[in-house]
Amino acid sequence: MLPNTLDDVEQELDARIRAFGTRIEFQEWECNDPDVVVKLKDGSTGIVINENFQTRYPIVYRKAHEFSHLIFGNLDFGESYHFSAGLRNGEEILANQGAVKMLCGIIYSHVPLEERSIEKFMVAFNLPSEYEEIVTEAVYSA
């Protein structure tokens, strides 16, 4: 178990997203339609979470991933990114690294190093083994 519940982590993440000026919206699309982050012509940004999206990753991870596209990516107005937890292209690698770092910062910022757990983090967010290096660095640098 993590030192925080996923609900606590999600509340803190939502506060950070709102403080950034980004709206979070929930929709019920088809089960294979991923979450999306958009930047509109007026400069406003939004994260749309598909409540029906069938994926192994919890919503809090998906929000962090989409938010990372806004913070670390190069999203021009009128563009959008769709959720992909794969480590296949530069934008997705950056978004996944950002999501892991962001969540580790929320979870472990006040936790002594000896009480932090890579395994518990990976299990909590259902991350594949290919994330282990990213998680290890983020857990111990948070």
pLDDT, one tens digit per residue, over 18-55 is: 999 999 999 999 999 999 999 888 888 999 999 999 99
The pLDDT assigned to 93 comes to 87
Contact (Cβ atoms closer than 8 angstroms) between residue 95 and residue 103 = no
The pLDDT assigned to 74 comes to 72
Q: How many CB atoms lie within 10 A of CB 92?
A: 20
- Domain carrying residue 114: 6-141
1 falls within a domain: no
- Tokens 């290096």 identify what position? 133
Q: What is the pLDDT of residues 62-121, one digit of tens each?
A: 999 999 999 988 766 555 666 666 657 788 889 999 999 999 999 999 999 999 999 999
- Better-scored residue on pLDDT, 79 or 58: 58
> How many domains is the chain built from?
1
102 falls within a domain: yes
Radius of gyration of the chain (CA): 15
The pLDDT assigned to 42 comes to 85
Residues contacting residue 16 through CB under 8 Å, at least 6 positions apart: 67, 102
Q: What is the residue-wise DSSP string for 66-87?
A: HHHHHHHS---TT-EEE-----
Q: What angle do CA 134, 138, 141 make, to 5 degrees?
A: 140
Q: At what angle do helices 90-108 and 132-141 cross, to 10 degrees?
A: 40
Does 3 have pLDDT greater than 90? no
23 falls within a domain: yes
